[in-house]
Amino acid sequence: MSDPDSKIIVALDYSNEAQASDFINKVSPELCKLKVGKELFTTAGPQFVEKIVAKGFDVFLDLKFHDIPNTVMKACHAAAELGVWMANVHALGGQTMMQAAKEGVSHSSTKLIAVTVLTSMGQEDLKQIGIQTGIVQQVVNLAQLAKQSGLDGVVCSAKEVSLLRQSLSEDFLLVTPGIRPAGSASGDQKRVMTPADAMAAGSSYLVIGRPITQSDSPVKTLKQIVLTQKSV
């Protein structure tokens, strides 16, 4: 079952460190990578991130920076200093911001990816914020902009992976949330896919939160997903 580069990134969407630690103590870096998002980072702080990095986990710091270039560059530099494996920004911040973000991590091995369109958003949501471009075209445009800005990859829906691969090289990372094992609730995610289908489509890494963290047996569920994803 062990994999030196696990493809599963568990979203630690817990409200406090104790709950997150309870899960982390039952898993290993070979089984999964860990994603720390806004809620847990706000409550548990950078010391918590350093603690799980020290345990050997690849940590994706999912703070989706979106601000003026200088601020984002410094925030990305600070993220890299924590020793995280991956950090991210919103592609909607534009090319200058993404280039500055990349400069911020350039002294480190931290990978930097961009969020294209949140997987919780549909066409109607885009219209409401003034974006008339079709959702898929919007994802393609932003992914190409991220690539041109020197980023290592993008966050996107698994439904967009095969299309993106047509215009982006194999080494460009496609990190896909909105993953739902067959039979689990989609919640607020609108563009979902099963783990096996997402891997078959060409996702580089799968981000999975609630199907694991809200399961009655989170570790058992994670191990089942690892097995199904490997059988692809």
* Distance in Å, CB of 75 to ligand C5P, minimum: 17
Does position 206 interact with ligand C5P (CB under 6 A)? The reply is no
String of contacts with ligand C5P for each residue 11-50, x by CB under 6 A: x-x-----------------------x-------------
CB atoms within 10 A of CB 99: 17
Does position 210 interact with ligand C5P (CB under 6 A)? The reply is yes
Instruction: Quote the CA–CA distance of 209 and 187 in Å, as a whole number.
Output: 11
* Distance in Å, CB of 212 to ligand C5P, minimum: 8
Strands 205-208 and 111-115: unpaired
Instruction: Quote the CA–CA distance of 165 and 203 in Å, as a whole number.
Output: 9
- Quick one: which of 115, 151, 164, 199 contacts ligand C5P (CB under 6 A)? 115
Instruction: Quote the CA–CA distance of 211 and 5 in Å, as a whole number.
Output: 21
* Distance in Å, CB of 210 to ligand C5P, minimum: 3
Does position 9 interact with ligand C5P (CB under 6 A)? The reply is no
Instruction: Quote the CA–CA distance of 109 and 81 in Å, as a whole number.
Output: 10
CB atoms within 10 A of CB 4: 6
* Segment contacting ligand C5P by CB under 6 A, of 65-73, 141-149, 205-213, 217-225: 205-213
- Over the Cα atoms of the chain, what is R_g? 17
Tokens in use for 146?
Answer: 């991220």
* Segment contacting ligand C5P by CB under 6 A, of 98-106, 126-134, 164-172, 201-209: 201-209
* Distance in Å, CB of 66 to ligand C5P, minimum: 12
Residue among 84, 80, 40 nearest 60 (CA): 84
Is 190 annotated as catalytic? Answer: no
Contact between 112 and 105 under an 8 Å Cβ cutoff? The reply is yes
138 to 157, contacts with ligand C5P by CB under 6 A? 155
Active site residues: 64
| Binding-site ranges for ligand C5P (CB under 6 A) | 11, 13, 37, 62, 115, 118-119, 155, 177-178, 187, 189, 207-210
